Structure 1
Amino acid sequence: MKRIITIAVTMLAVAGMGLLSSCSTNGPSTESGLTKETLVKKFQEELIKVKPGSVLELPEGKFQFDNTLSLNISNVTIRGKGMNKTILSFSGQKAGSAGMLVKANDFTIEDLGIEDAAGDALKIDGGTNITIRRVRVEWTGGSKEKNGPYGLYPVTCKNVLIEDSVAIGASDAGIYVGQSDQVIIRRNKAEKNVAAIEIENTKNADVYENEVTNNTGGIMVFNLPDLPVQGGGMVRVYNNKIIANNNPNFAPMGQTVYNLATGTGMLVMAVKNVEIYKNEIRDNNSAGINVVSYLSASSAAEIKNPNYNPFVASINIHDNQISGSGKEPDSRLPKWEALAKAAGKPLADVIYDGIVEPAGGKPAKVEDAKICLENNGEITFLNFDGAGGFKKISRDMKPHKCTLPALAEIKLPQSSATKAGGGM
């Protein structure tokens, strides 16, 4: 039986007095006389001394923190009363690189909001069996460069479930999973971020039934060279709504996503074995889906990691509804401005750089990459000849009339669990 620690505050007139309920397995007991500020301190203390198997329950209210909340104990649940009812605010944060930093296994956080962190809102580093459920992360001042880079941020984790959550205003990615294995991201909403959802150097991931709108870019699946974990892939992206992601890019210069074109529905870069299907992708001003090698962004000489493969291949794009793409490509970026001049507007629903991995040291044909387009209706297509500087642009889809086998469903130990929610 889990040990439940209920941290509760009860407002009595204007006195701001509260209750801390601490309990054993037999149920809660209470002690009174806590101010709201003391309650905040008690919560910080509980994160340090909490026992494995405990549930920390927070009441409705907005609670102010000025430094990072850290948890290093495994098998702990943190639970509020709803993502808009229990709010952890870091608007006056003075210390720490995140709102909450977790280095533990078997961690669940649900039914609360995290606002205005100085850095990342919720970072989970190196954990196994991680569940983020009905959590809202937000920078409440709008889309600003000073906002923290990542909202929900599991990195080097295994068995990650992010569901029914909301991410708003991150200056890099609202929902980011990096260098991880076995991931499900489902039924979330992301808006006003630079990137809504990023799957970076991660393998075996399902991304489905999410709504991403009014970001700079929607869903990104890619591998980068300068990371210890390589070989991301085996990713399914399906049944998502990726609509009108045309929010101007507000990432600080120097971040990778600074070069993300405003109006990108999906970016698929330097990755293999990705299946994209049954999505609604519309009204993204640069491209619906942009499929590229890393060599479209950097030269081979800049890649120092010998284990990194910069090419994109085995991308199965089928049974999607894609429309209204490429009407106003991002003129902020010189390459996109040059592409618009070379190809004309609109660009296309699906664009591809045409850079193919050599076979046996010899040039390969575009068909060999297996960038497959099937049953997507009357979509438009553009191979923009990234290697040749847009000189041999083609709109011929025939080399991409191919079929790839379906990828396997991701199943997690915690993914079938359905718990009563704390509401919005």
Structure 2
Amino acid sequence: MKTAAYVGVALAAVMAAACSPEKKESQVDQAQASASADFQKNLLKQLISAQPGDVIELPAGKFQLNRSLSLNVDGVTIRGAGMDKTILSFKDQIQGAEGLLVNASDFIIENLAIEDTIGDALKVNEGENIIIRNIRVEWTNGPSTENGAYGIYPVQTKNTLVEGTVAIGASDAGIYVGQSRNVIVRNNRAEFNVAGIEIENTIGADVYDNVATNNTGGILVFNMPNLPQPGHSTRVYNNKIFQNNTENFGHEGTPVAAVPAGSGVVINSNDNVEIFNNEISDNDTANVIVSSYYMAGYYSDKSTQEAFDPYPEGIYIYGNQFTGGGSSPDHLELKALKLAKYGLGGSLPDILWDGVVDAKKMVDGQVPEGLKLCIDNGDAGIINVDASNDFKNISTDITPHKCSLKKLPQIVLEFDQPASAEDEVAQVEAADA
């Protein structure tokens, strides 16, 4: 069953007002406002009355919405005419925080844009079999602490695909997948966010073929306490992660507010993470940072959630192409370290590690093989800042990290991925050729 949020009469009024020379600009604005009001009314009605199997199709146009949208029915598809053609603007939002809040499974959203929400742009909560495809989320005033926290935000989901999206200007993370299982994040672009792409407390994620640039941190793999599940088993590969040097504009007290500007990939407290076959370049603090929860700058109490494991373990970095980076680190301690060890014209190595390990797990004074930070990346260097000992024994010896780990399996989503509208057109054209 298909339904459509077309507002033909109102759109015709807008076109007539815009094309008629005797109409004043205020009348055009009034017609546009009327069209947006009708569009919002019809869309709210369709979301409320939606049934499993419905496809809600949204026309091309820019529509001003002043209240949050929500969907609570499984099996619904929302489809626009394109991320630069169907634009839902919340610049004048007066009610709610999210742009669209979804509490449902078997949900697909594609081919539209959500702009300038007060809070999160698109949040999907506690659903299974989620596809977020060809969506643009953006705060059009540029990087600002006043922007919403999350752009694309599936949380506590299972079997989730985020692909072909663009996320710009989030004050926390442009694309955030949290507390989820079985996730693929691919072919996306994240720019001018605090965190471009963040995988947090998620079990089993593949993050590949993305572009992360002009963020504070490009791609983050985090594990935080006091959340429903710990995270592990993430692969970050075949991405382009470059020039993530935007000043941090996150809200004070949030985890990402402590991320140094100039961070390419950041692993914090997460286990079993592979970073491979990426192009990582010109991130001014470091191209890769591996740190514990204690050294991240935002923890309040080392006794937080007794079962929480704050140490990154089983980290494997290999086959990446590193260029530039480390030439102008953020945070005073790192600036001083760079100056003291490498001089004014020098740079920190590609990989920065805080050196914090779990003493309780040591065997004969050594980290067990499966828990090591392993590096097989040509001439890439590492600096261990020995943070737990107040930076007393800084080391650039890569020998303890010349090891390998068992590679993680590919993530396979446990549902059939229906073709996008563009794929369907391409298949028809191919058949006709």
Q: Compute the TM-score of the two structures, normalised by the length of structure 2.
A: 0.88
* Counterpart contact for 2:242–2:282, Cα < 8 Å: yes
Alpha-carbon distance between aligned partners in 2 of 1:217 and 1:274, rounded to the nearest angstrom: 17
- Counterpart residue type for residue 375 of structure 2: L
- 2:372 pairs with one of 358, 370, 373: 370
Equivalent residue number for residue 274 of structure 1: 273
Once the two structures are TM-superposed, the CA of residue 134 in structure 1 deviates from its matched residue by 0.2
Per-residue Cα deviation, 1:99-158 (whole angstroms, up to 9, x for no partner) = 111111111100000000000000111111111000000000101110001000011111
Task: Report the CA distance shift for 1:39/1:342 in structure 2 as closer, same or farther (over 3 A).
Answer: same
* Counterpart contact for 2:277–2:320, Cα < 8 Å: yes
- 2:7 pairs with one of 6, 9, 14: 9
- Counterpart residue type for residue 348 of structure 1: P
Equivalent residue number for residue 295 of structure 1: 294
Which runs of 5 or more structure 2 residues have no equivalent in the other structure? 18-33, 426-433
Equivalent residue number for residue 96 of structure 1: 96
Once the two structures are TM-superposed, the CA of residue 377 in structure 1 deviates from its matched residue by 2.6
* Counterpart contact for 1:111–1:421, Cα < 8 Å: no
C-alpha RMSD over aligned residues? 2.0
Task: Report the CA distance shift for 1:416/1:69 in structure 2 as closer, same or farther (over 3 A).
Answer: closer
Equivalent residue number for residue 250 of structure 2: 251
Alpha-carbon distance between aligned partners in 2 of 1:300 and 1:111, rounded to the nearest angstrom: 42
The structure richer in strand per residue is 1
Once the two structures are TM-superposed, the CA of residue 416 in structure 1 deviates from its matched residue by 4.5
Alpha-carbon distance between aligned partners in 1 of 2:349 and 2:261, rounded to the nearest angstrom: 15
Alpha-carbon distance between aligned partners in 2 of 1:378 and 1:302, rounded to the nearest angstrom: 36
Per-residue Cα deviation, 1:215-249 (whole angstroms, up to 9, x for no partner) = 1110000101122222x111111000001101111
* Counterpart contact for 2:7–2:38, Cα < 8 Å: no
Task: Report the CA distance shift for 1:347/1:309 in structure 2 as closer, same or farther (over 3 A).
Answer: same
* Counterpart contact for 1:343–1:393, Cα < 8 Å: no
Alpha-carbon distance between aligned partners in 1 of 2:228 and 2:55, rounded to the nearest angstrom: 34
Equivalent residue number for residue 38 of structure 1: 38
Alpha-carbon distance between aligned partners in 1 of 2:250 and 2:146, rounded to the nearest angstrom: 9
Per-residue Cα deviation, 1:241-270 (whole angstroms, up to 9, x for no partner) = 001101111112222211110000010111
2:388 is equivalent to residue 387 of structure 1: yes
Equivalent residue number for residue 338 of structure 2: 340
2:45 is equivalent to residue 63 of structure 1: no
Equivalent residue number for residue 215 of structure 2: 215
> After superposition, where does 1:14-413 map in structure 2 within 5 Å?
14=14, 35-230=35-230, 232-297=231-296, 301-330=301-330, 333-344=331-342, 345-359=346-360, 364-365=365-366, 368=369, 369-374=371-376, 376-413=377-414
- Counterpart residue type for residue 6 of structure 1: A
* Counterpart contact for 2:328–2:335, Cα < 8 Å: no
Task: Report the CA distance shift for 1:43/1:262 in structure 2 as closer, same or farther (over 3 A).
Answer: same
Task: Report the CA distance shift for 1:81/1:406 in structure 2 as closer, same or farther (over 3 A).
Answer: same
Q: Secondary structure at the match of 1:267?
A: strand
Identical counterparts, % of pairs:
47
Task: Report the CA distance shift for 1:337/1:367 in structure 2 as closer, same or farther (over 3 A).
Answer: farther
* Counterpart contact for 1:196–1:212, Cα < 8 Å: yes
Q: Secondary structure at the match of 2:311?
A: coil
Alpha-carbon distance between aligned partners in 1 of 2:40 and 2:408, rounded to the nearest angstrom: 46
Once the two structures are TM-superposed, the CA of residue 13 in structure 1 deviates from its matched residue by 5.7
Alpha-carbon distance between aligned partners in 1 of 2:332 and 2:229, rounded to the nearest angstrom: 31
Number of aligned residue pairs: 401
- Counterpart residue type for residue 252 of structure 2: M
Q: Compute the TM-score of the two structures, normalised by the length of structure 1.
A: 0.90
Which runs of 5 or more structure 1 residues have no equivalent in the other structure? 18-33
Alpha-carbon distance between aligned partners in 2 of 1:215 and 1:360, rounded to the nearest angstrom: 35
The structure richer in helix per residue is 2
